[in-house]
Structure 1
């Protein structure tokens, strides 16, 4: 305002000084320090040779003030020379922020530069005041209402200034109280549980759930609205919201006034439009029915199911809108789903990106959606899941893109994020008596990007000395039949593995085949040979070992045949959140060998999401073995074992079950399992896909040949587990508390493993 008055005064005074017009013979600018005379001439509305009038004088002063370079402008005449005297505004030499912790200084400087408040620019007090207001607004949006922002402008030489902005951020205002007014059908506690905002608890220092923000309050109001709409309250409204702040600006008090309205039921459900699919089939997909309570969630779910069904028949851009007709007198709703399938689309091209190592053909082998075929949303999703289950990729995304210039073609863009497919696989355990136990293998699940599996093992731990080599081609034929083989040599000291004292030297191998019988099911078949040399020390105290050697000998040739079935519907091979993986196998040592026995085993891992954050998992592992034919006893070195991080956590590896001479023997019957609730690392703004935690309950034991299953003998444990997909492989950790343990059980609270999941 002061500048406008000054400019107007100068215009009036200058106008009064010009009694007559004159021809400009020259123009002289005085008072310049940083700004060049050429810059001033560019803003002047007159030039040498022009006839200067009273209006021209006003125009000169207006133009120069409008440039924002000057605080003062005077226009004078010296004979034929036009003299313009100016006083420059200072330039910003530096901008410094003091006390800002929430706002990054570099980001602030970048944003101020975009509005013209930066080093080298002309300083304007009005602009600085706007900057202060904007900074205050940003802190308010973060819940810091006690922020105090002051500025210091220090004059420097050569008409420059240094700007310092001091920010006393204060603390984030916490929520002192939340009141909901107008709720009659549901009590306060039930409604408050739906809100992200809380008055705090013992974890609030980490979760920040008691800190106020406008954005969080808006989300909470929408959560309330969804809560009521999902329970039939069609007329629910949030009438008003009052937010007050304490005098010290450290606490917020929220009052939400609501009107519940009446509860509505569904009177009739109809389908309309171009149905394409038989109406009866579509009705089966609608989850909301006549006489059920109105639910927006159920309506949305039904619309999505109908859309997906049409998408399976190629209608990728189908649109299903649910239109309610509300009868407020009867408090009933007639619901009509209007179906617009759009045009049927087919896939022009499938594009794959992100696979810098893995060949395209490895991914295309898993595709269930084909190019030049009608698009099926189910086939697209199955393709994505099958690629995820390969275990080569951390993330798999697919996007459906319309082809420009057409209405019936789409492209599918699959984008993958590769993870290390070669790994050092190791198991590490610790016990007070044995210290650290280590074993290692090298596995390349995606050899040279071909999808073929190569395994090479060398182990020289106290338990095992192992040399092994394995190869598998998952797509040996175009029908998806896999072929592979394994060769191995293994020396085992059972005593070092917490088992009774004996050693075995085994060499052999097998060839194996995998035959797909459906989308998610395979039959596996292998033929093997094993040569076993058994050694039991002379000072051994286990009588059954001596009896077995006396009856069966200590050197064996075995020709095992294994028939198995596996099924996998998980959404991810490494860290699944939904689906079921199970396998059943029968291994039979054929009569052409020295030993005749069979082993049956069933494994099961089931995952289901509880919500967007938590996943529930169940695990089962059952095993049974028995001798047949001319063999009188099941080989003890083929026993099952339980305990350890892959079995019943909290108990030392392989130590559960029957004992003799205070040494664990394992058994021919194994029953283990567990339940887990899996969740991501808390207190992280961004979820780490490669790391997650779980709380678990494990159960299990092994039983001897002369025992039958007894539930009373089962051992239990509970605790906290973590899994991290590290650059070295999958690392698993657990802290467990054994339950129902017996005096002779060997327990371990902390266990960990590198290179395998469980």
Structure 2
């Protein structure tokens, strides 16, 4: 059958020319319309024929026209599956001939050092490059640019990317990105021009970005990133705004890179403006008739320099107060009225509360493992109740404190057609909650210790936890199994069950050894009395087995004579804890308090013991980068029912966690064998002043500290005298390392006795004070 002129045009030309030809079909001989008898597709290898038929604008029996042919070509190219398409006519049969694009069989990388392969693979997948996707040179070019962008974000300005596409079977290609990273570009200089009120060095200290220093290999603060520079500029702006410079602005920033792409110079030009003093604060707008409550939350002080933090803090407290009354969308604006002639400003706070709303529905999103009830039971905001910003924030914080999620956010959405209602959506991003840990540690007290543990929090999404652990330290070995149900009751009472076997070998100055083993089990409950306070109580049963190896201290021999080498007791526990620190691992603000009482009224031994501790962290006035930490701990124990106080419940002191510089656990009394046996009374107080390590910017994981310690341990026959206190001072290094908190210290004794064991350098992994 002879082909029409249009067919002869379509056969030999590329796809884009074919589209133009069809679009301008009236300029050539057109095909007379006819009814389609059949449609045939040729050239498919991987694609499904249905994808072709679905894109065609005609079916068998429909009328065929030039316009429909052009529409068919456009639709098939739009699928992205084909690099060439043409339509041929055989009588009343329409033949669609396609040439498929190659598909990506695999994506590979070579030369990677700075990035993990999975990180780049995810970035490329977000840009349409992954296994099974059509191969497109334009998309590959975009992928190269994305890889370069990732390297630029880490200051690798000389990174080069070359892509190799290797054909494989079934019309597929292996795509390999060959990366030559080059060297990282480092900040050579940072200069601030236009600053007169404050020195350049003062402003540079505010920035996280720094020039290359002796520790920047660890902190990487000498690597330029635009986001980091913007954050530093905001810190400088905030510094000026908090010192009266209301009209401060950054005029320009210039970042230049050296020809060899190894060095970066940053120049910042600022305009300080004039300093302003606040002469008054005025409230305008609707304050719900509660002006006194709002005024009580104003921290802006007339007669003081204008402080941006005070203004933004006041605005935030106003919106929070509105939210607590149900006004979710209240608007509070600060409008300073400036008098440039006198350098004075009146701060006007204009408020519009909007409409009071209630919460129609609370939705959860992102929890694929955690059950809804585990999250909802932490909520303090309820459905069909007035919107309360304080309860919503508290609910979010409680969900975050569960520790099951990387991110927790709350979105407030208006309900269409109901201006007095909102829906809340809690978005969570779950994280793995199981862990298998194998670790080794070395300390000046225990030498080499090995530990292993396996634990699973939020097991089966229930919120419960289960753990198993073993420790092989020289002085203290343990085997423990524990399970915790944080909502044993609907009111939030927690229950914990522990089964353990502990073995300790107290230190003996004569080098002999002896064992003290304590197998036991306990159950305890935690009752929340507020959002920060928890009261604990529980009961247990434990046995004490005193080994009879060579060198058993006389005090243990006496205990064995009184109670036997195998004794048992049932300890009861009552405790209270209040946690208000901003970060338990590296606190800079807040307080932690606890009080524990344990006693035994039945069994071979009868005793009572109390231990209390308080920690306070606060900022040093005029030195915001410094943190002062204070700690005090007191413990006392006594025997009951005329029985001796059990020696294995003694307190120990000296060393890290007590009074540094003195040998670990060397305080208290010793018996005739020379063994340190501690005492039933303990006191120690510590002060630490934390400094950021030079060159680390505002990094809190690595800090230098100066310390001063005092304390002692007294035996049952000794009276507590302040003259007995030991004291020391020195300096040290604190590091939140990958294997746990590490502290090293070096100091000198300020008050010691001739019999004391001195150990000037000490270190420990996993200690607090």
Report TM bin, short chain. 0.5 to 0.7
* Cα pair distance change 1:495/1:209, threshold 3 Å: closer
1:129-175 deviation per Cα after TM superposition (whole angstroms, max 9, x unaligned): xxx999999999999999999xxxxxxxxxxxxxxxx9999985855
Matched, 1:512 2:520: no
* Cα pair distance change 1:401/1:697, threshold 3 Å: farther
* Cα pair distance change 1:415/1:41, threshold 3 Å: closer
1:625 aligns with 636
Matched, 1:188 2:196: no
Matched, 1:366 2:378: yes
1:713 aligns with 726
* Cα pair distance change 1:657/1:617, threshold 3 Å: farther
Q: What are the ranges of 5 or more consecutive residues in structure 2 without an aligned counterpart?
A: 31-109, 130-134, 162-178
Match of 2:417 among 385, 405, 411: 405
Matched, 1:299 2:311: yes
Match of 1:326 among 316, 334, 338: 338
The worse-fitting range, judged by mean Cα deviation, of 98-107 and 495-504 is 98-107
* Cα pair distance change 1:474/1:651, threshold 3 Å: farther
CA positional deviation for 1:562: 2.5
Matched, 1:671 2:681: no
Match of 1:347 among 339, 342, 359: 359
* Cα pair distance change 1:434/1:198, threshold 3 Å: closer
How many aligned positions are there?
655
CA positional deviation for 1:534: 3.3
Match of 2:574 among 538, 556, 563: 563
2:649 aligns with 638
Match of 1:231 among 239, 243, 265: 243
CA positional deviation for 1:273: 1.0
1:588 aligns with 599
> Map of 1:259-658 to 2, 5 A cutoff?
259-276=271-288, 278-423=290-435, 428-430=440-442, 436-440=448-452, 443-454=455-466, 470-488=482-500, 490=502, 492-494=504-506, 501-537=513-549, 539-540=551-552, 542-549=553-560, 554=565, 556-569=567-580, 579-590=590-601, 592-604=602-614, 618=629, 620=631, 622-631=633-642, 633-642=644-653, 654=665, 658=669
What is the SS of the residue equivalent to 1:624? Answer: strand
* Cα pair distance change 1:552/1:672, threshold 3 Å: farther
What is the SS of the residue equivalent to 2:386? Answer: coil
What is the SS of the residue equivalent to 2:684? Answer: strand
What is the SS of the residue equivalent to 2:296? Answer: helix
CA positional deviation for 1:602: 1.6
CA positional deviation for 1:288: 0.6
Equivalent residues of 1:179, 1:256 under 8 A apart: yes
CA positional deviation for 1:307: 0.8
CA distance in structure 2 between the partners assigned to 1:673 and 1:267 by the alignment: 44
Match of 2:713 among 696, 703, 714: 703
CA distance in structure 2 between the partners assigned to 1:300 and 1:285 by the alignment: 12
What is the SS of the residue equivalent to 1:363? Answer: helix
* Cα pair distance change 1:430/1:662, threshold 3 Å: farther
What is the SS of the residue equivalent to 1:562? Answer: strand
Q: CA RMSD in A?
A: 5.8
2:191 aligns with 178
Equivalent residues of 1:641, 1:670 under 8 A apart: no
CA positional deviation for 1:422: 4.5
Equivalent residues of 1:717, 1:737 under 8 A apart: yes
Q: What are the ranges of 5 or more consecutive residues in structure 1 without an aligned counterpart?
A: 1-24, 51-97, 122-127, 150-165, 726-730
* Cα pair distance change 1:99/1:42, threshold 3 Å: farther
CA distance in structure 2 between the partners assigned to 1:229 and 1:133 by the alignment: 39
> Map of 1:160-179 to 2, 5 A cutoff?
172=185, 176=189, 178=191
CA positional deviation for 1:596: 3.7
What is the SS of the residue equivalent to 1:740? Answer: strand
The worse-fitting range, judged by mean Cα deviation, of 338-347 and 489-498 is 489-498
* Cα pair distance change 1:440/1:622, threshold 3 Å: farther
CA distance in structure 1 between the partners assigned to 2:596 and 2:660 by the alignment: 25
Equivalent residues of 1:649, 1:736 under 8 A apart: no
* Cα pair distance change 1:394/1:653, threshold 3 Å: farther
CA distance in structure 1 between the partners assigned to 2:373 and 2:413 by the alignment: 22
CA positional deviation for 1:538: 6.1
* Cα pair distance change 1:324/1:112, threshold 3 Å: same
Normalising by structure 1, we get a TM-score of: 0.68
Equivalent residues of 1:347, 1:411 under 8 A apart: yes
* Cα pair distance change 1:175/1:388, threshold 3 Å: same
Equivalent residues of 1:388, 1:573 under 8 A apart: no
CA distance in structure 1 between the partners assigned to 2:655 and 2:705 by the alignment: 14
